[in-house]
Structures are given as C-alpha cells and as structure tokens.
Amino acid sequence: MDFYVAHRVPADGEDPVLVLFLPEGDGPLPRAAAAVDEAVGGLLSRVRKSGEFPGKARETLVLHSTAKRGPRRVLLAGLGRAADLTLDGFRRAAGAAALAARGTRAGEMSIVLPATDRAPRDALAAALVEGATLAAYEFRRHRTGDDAVAEAPLARVTVVEEETSGREALDRGLALGRVLADAAAWARDVGNTPGNEGTPGFLAERAREIASESGMRLTVLERADMEREGMGGILGVARGTLEPPKFIVLEHNAGKEDLPCIALVGKGITFDSGGISIKPAENMHEMKFDKCGGVAVLATMRAVGRLRIPLRVVGIVPATENLPSGTAYKPGDVVRSLGGRTIEVLNTDAEGRMLLVDGIAYAKRFKPRCIVDLATLTGACVVALGDAASGLFSTDEALASALLRAAEGSGERAWRMPLYADYTEQIRSDVADFKNTGGRPAGACTAAALLQAHAEGTPWAHLDIAGTAWTTKDRDYLRKGATGVGPRTLVRWLLAEAGR
Ligand code: BES
Ligand code: MN
Ligand code: ZN
C-alpha cells in the first residue's frame, strides 16, 4: 500500500473513492464534507438526515454519486463522539475505511484527514498509515492457486488537502507511519510462520537480513558457543530438540560508545509443546506464536535501523524449541544460568523465563541504560488481563511511564503489574537459588520476579504479551493470527528516548 499527498480541493477531483471521516451526531458537516455534499447534490446531508449513518465508531457507508463533478464514490467513516476521539480511535476508523474501500474493488482511496484538535497532524497521518496497512494485512504465504493472491488489493492511498502549509508535518507522519506499519506487518509475517518453517535458524536468517540492510553487527551463538558461555537456561530447554538453538544478538550503532545504550530481549520459543510437562493437545498449535516476543525485538531492530535512531540499541533473541525427548530437561533438574544463579526446574513448560534470564544476563555486558524484555510468558497474564492489555512490570518508574506513554500512542494497551518482594520469596527453592515456578497464585508476577532477580542493578521492564501477541478473532485493524504487538510501541519509545 503506497501513500501520497495531493494538494487540491477534495470536492473538485473525480476520486474513485473519497473517504470522509464524520463524528457521531447531527452537527453540521465538517468544512470539506460540506463542500463535497454540495458537489454531489446534497447526497451527504440527505443520508445524515435519514439517520442511515449516525457516525458511530467503526461504521462505514459507501455512496455512489451520479453528479457531473466530484468524487465517483463517497465513503463515510464514523469516528464516534467527537469529544471521545482518540488517536487510536482514528487508527481504527482508518482501518475500517480501508477495508470498506477495498470492498469497492477500486484499488485506491483518497482521504480527507479529520480536522481535530485532539491529535497533531503528523500523529494523525502516522495513525492513518498504521490503521489502513494493518487492517488490510493478509497472510497468504501458504495458500496456493487463485487463493495465493489478493483479489483486489488496496494499492494507493492519497491524502487530499487543499492547504499546503501542513505539508511538512503530513510527510513526516506518513514516513513514520510507513516504518511503524511495516515493522508490525513484518512481525505478523514472521509470527504467523508455522513452527516447521519458523525455526530458530529461520529467526537467525531474518536477523541476518536486518543486519545487512542497516549495517548492524550480528552475532549468532550456536549450541557449542552457549555451552562455552555457560548459558544453562536456554541450553536446558534446548536439550529436548534436534533443531539447533540460536542465541541472536543484533547491535545497532555497535561500538559507538558515546551513544546511550538500550537493550531489548525477546523470548524466541519457536514452538512450545511444554516439554516433559507436556501441554494438552487442544490449542497446542497456537504455541507457534510463542516466538512473538523475539519477533517483536527483531522487527523493532529493523525499524531502528531504517530510522537511524541515534542510540546504541542491542536486540537479543534466545531462540529454541521446547520439546520432550529422551534427552529433554526434566522436572527436578537444576541448571545454572549465565548470571550464575541456580534454578530448579519444577515445570518444563515454564521455559520462557529459562532463556530470558540468559538473555538478560547477556544484555548486562553492554552496560545498557535499561533493559526491556518482551515475552509470551504466562497463561496467568491472559487470565489477569485477557487480550485487552499486555502486562507491564518494571523496577523503574521513569521507564515504566515512558513505555506506557509510547503504548498509548500506539494503541497497544499495557497495564502496570506489581513486583512485590513476596513474589521473589514465592520462587525460592529448597535445593537451588530459585525454582522456575511459584505455583498458580500470581503466576505472571512470580515469572517476572525471576527475571527481576537477573536484571538486578539495571533499570528493567518486562512486557508479558501472552494475551496480546495473537488473536483468534478479527478486531479493528488486527487480523486473526499474530498481531505484531510491540514494535510500534518500542519504536515510539526509542524515538522519544533519542529526543526525536
Ligand atoms: N508460552 C507459555 C505461556 C502462554 C500460555 C502464552 C498460553 C499464551 C497462552 C509459557 O511457556 C507457559 O507454558 N507458561 C506456563 C507456566 C507455568 C507452567 C508455571 C503457564 O502459563 O501455564
Ligand atoms: Mn511453556
Ligand atoms: Zn512458552
């Protein structure tokens, strides 16, 4: 989907599909809409008066015009009540408009950005690109024949605006929106890749592409390297699979010691069967999405490189499968993490934390200003928050609020969760420093507590994306499957950290 800007009077063109965003209610039509209404012989005001288009959020209506001049079709898209409009509300409306415009099979749409003082123009432009691109996203790689290609994709989107004075903000917003939408769509593609194809080696290949595109340093540790380093956590999990594990490290602005450093760590379990503590068969296939934290980190690195963000950013993805076998790690085993802590394995299905602790310990070598990890870590987080929000845990107030602000800007909700000392007590082991589960109570919090113990000394935040990384229902600009959660928020946060 390509985005353009055209400076002309929206009512004067002969656009195949002209999208007008309208707030709910029977107030006067916005200025551009009123001019279009006149061009198409009062069609809009008739429809408004009839009550056919109340302008509720998500609502769309396509009108054909037979007038001599003006657009051939007008696509009305509801914004809901003007006083309640948020940036994400506009992103959702843009997504709904894109799907309705695709339904016309015109292959293109022109849009008039809503006049609102609730968001700056550049943010609106970025949200337009994100909403339209992500709503129209499809994963067709494993379809064949006629089904392999979309029938009538929405290829062109033109923002039509008479005034030229806002052009710079518009271009800036569209450019940022492209990078963010592209990062999320890339994350969806990699996230949706099934376990037989989307192996740890596949993730390492994707990292190699990112490194060569943006000139990043890439280090991929193999099993033997991990043994030499003493990464007992990931190695324990990887004992059960013949698929070679990979410990992936991407460095943006490597060696530029004068730049502040930020480390990102993502859980890269390419399939989680539970291991010896095997999961029930029902819905086990969804565990191909257990790599989505790692994928979010890779997608973020890709965008960071494209935007040349002036920070040193290290992206770390410990990647392996979690399978049962004759060599698999077992309940009762004790392993030693890279951080030198011993962990008693009580449940082999609590594997994410086993690799994250090695990832976090490795991240500390870069002496980062802070560490942020993302992981589809616990079913308990899904019990607590559902798919409405990711769980945010942090030892640092400023870091937590900066991440919450960025999440808000992206429409990716995060909800702060506690890190009481009780949770660390709950994972003390009788035979080792820690055990890898604290039982059912506060499962998301005790998992975070083990990570916290390894991040100790460095400001750290953890996003449990177990409920938000994929969806089984189409919703707004999310399509069934991987949602691509993470990169849009992380990139917005990193831009703010860099003062952009
Ligand atoms: N990948 C799962 C967490 C998960 C479960 C994410 C369902 C999304 C949906 C993780 O590795 C896991 O299995 N966690 C266990 C931990 C337990 C054994 C302490 C869980 O949450 O049940
Ligand atoms: Mn598991
Ligand atoms: Zn898992």
Interval 45-63: pLDDT, tens? 999 999 999 999 999 999 9
Q: pLDDT at residue 26 above 90?
A: no
The percent of residues above 90 in pLDDT, for the chain, comes to 97
Is 352 close to ligand 1, i.e. is its CB under 6 Å away? yes
Atom of ligand 1 nearest to the CA of 439: 19
Is 350 close to ligand 1, i.e. is its CB under 6 Å away? yes
Nearest-CA residue for atom 8 of ligand 1: 466
Residue 122: its pLDDT value, please?
A: 97
Residue 189: its pLDDT value, please?
A: 98
Backbone angles phi, psi at 481, to 5 degrees: 110, -160
pLDDT tens-place string over residues 359-374? 999 999 999 999 999 9
Residue 148: its pLDDT value, please?
A: 86
Residue 383: its pLDDT value, please?
A: 98
| Burial of 373 per CB tally in 10 Å (0-12, 13-18, 19+) | buried
pLDDT confidence band for 182 (50 / 70 / 90): very high
Mean pLDDT of 414-430: 98
| Per-residue exposure over 35-60, b if at least 16 CB sit within 10 Å of its own CB, e if not | bbbbbbeebbbebbeeeebebebebb
Residue 497: its pLDDT value, please?
A: 98
Probe target for ligand 1 pocket from 378, 387, 446, with the most ligand atoms within 8 Å of CB: 378
Mean pLDDT of 28-42: 96
Is 272 close to ligand 1, i.e. is its CB under 6 Å away? yes
Mean pLDDT of 27-45: 95
Mean pLDDT of 275-303: 98
Mean pLDDT of 196-201: 98
Is 347 close to ligand 1, i.e. is its CB under 6 Å away? yes
Mean pLDDT of 64-78: 96
Cβ atoms of 241 and 223 closer than 8 Å:
no
Q: How many A from CA of 451 to the centre of ligand 1?
A: 15
pLDDT confidence band for 149 (50 / 70 / 90): confident
Cβ atoms of 416 and 390 closer than 8 Å:
no
Q: How many A from CA of 347 to the centre of ligand 3?
A: 11
DSSP output for 187-256: HHHHHHS-TTTS-HHHHHHHHHHHHHHHT-EEEEE-HHHHHHHT-HHHHHHHTT-SSPPEEEEEEETTT-
Q: pLDDT at residue 146 above 90?
A: no
Is 270 close to ligand 1, i.e. is its CB under 6 Å away? no
Probe target for ligand 1 pocket from 320, 349, 434, with the most ligand atoms within 8 Å of CB: 349
Q: pLDDT at residue 150 above 90?
A: no
Residue 226: its pLDDT value, please?
A: 98
Q: How far apart are CA 133 and CA 176, in angstroms?
A: 13
Q: How far apart are CA 467 and CA 357, in angstroms?
A: 21
- CA 234 to chain centroid, in Å, comes to 24
Nearest-CA residue for atom 6 of ligand 1: 466
Taking the CA of 267 as reference, the closest ligand is: 3
Q: How many A from CA of 357 to the centre of ligand 2?
A: 15
Taking the CA of 273 as reference, the closest ligand is: 2
Is 378 close to ligand 1, i.e. is its CB under 6 Å away? yes
Count of beta carbons in the 10 Å neighbourhood of residue 494:
24
Q: How many A from CA of 118 to the centre of ligand 3?
A: 40
Mean pLDDT of 159-175: 97
Is 337 close to ligand 1, i.e. is its CB under 6 Å away? no
DSSP output for 456-474: TTS-EEEEE-TTTSEESS-
Backbone angles phi, psi at 297, to 5 degrees: -65, -45
pLDDT confidence band for 418 (50 / 70 / 90): very high
| Burial of 485 per CB tally in 10 Å (0-12, 13-18, 19+) | buried
Residue 406: its pLDDT value, please?
A: 98
Residue 143: its pLDDT value, please?
A: 94
**Positions marked active-site:** 279, 353
Mean pLDDT of 110-136: 96
Count of beta carbons in the 10 Å neighbourhood of residue 66:
8
Cβ atoms of 216 and 252 closer than 8 Å:
yes
Residue 151: its pLDDT value, please?
A: 84
Q: How many A from CA of 292 to the centre of ligand 3?
A: 10
| Burial of 151 per CB tally in 10 Å (0-12, 13-18, 19+) | exposed
Cβ atoms of 391 and 420 closer than 8 Å:
no
Q: How far apart are CA 268 and CA 481, in angstroms?
A: 17
Residue 170: its pLDDT value, please?
A: 98
Residue 408: its pLDDT value, please?
A: 97
Is 290 close to ligand 1, i.e. is its CB under 6 Å away? yes
Q: How many A from CA of 469 to the centre of ligand 2?
A: 15
pTM of the model: 0.98
Q: How far apart are CA 344 and CA 437, in angstroms?
A: 9
Q: Which residue has the tokens 């055990």?
A: 435
Taking the CA of 438 as reference, the closest ligand is: 1
What's the per-residue H, E or C state across 29-55?
CCHHHHHHHHHCCCHHHHHHHHCCCCC
Cβ atoms of 144 and 96 closer than 8 Å:
no
Cβ atoms of 477 and 135 closer than 8 Å:
yes
Q: pLDDT at residue 23 above 90?
A: yes
Atom of ligand 1 nearest to the CA of 438: 19
Lowest-pLDDT range of 144-148, 203-207, 263-267, 352-356 = 144-148
Residue 326: left if φ>0, alpha if ψ -120 to 50, beta else—which one?
Answer: alpha
The mean predicted confidence, pLDDT, of the chain is: 97
Q: pLDDT at residue 110 above 90?
A: yes
Is 468 close to ligand 1, i.e. is its CB under 6 Å away? no
Lowest-pLDDT range of 56-70, 136-150, 344-358 = 136-150
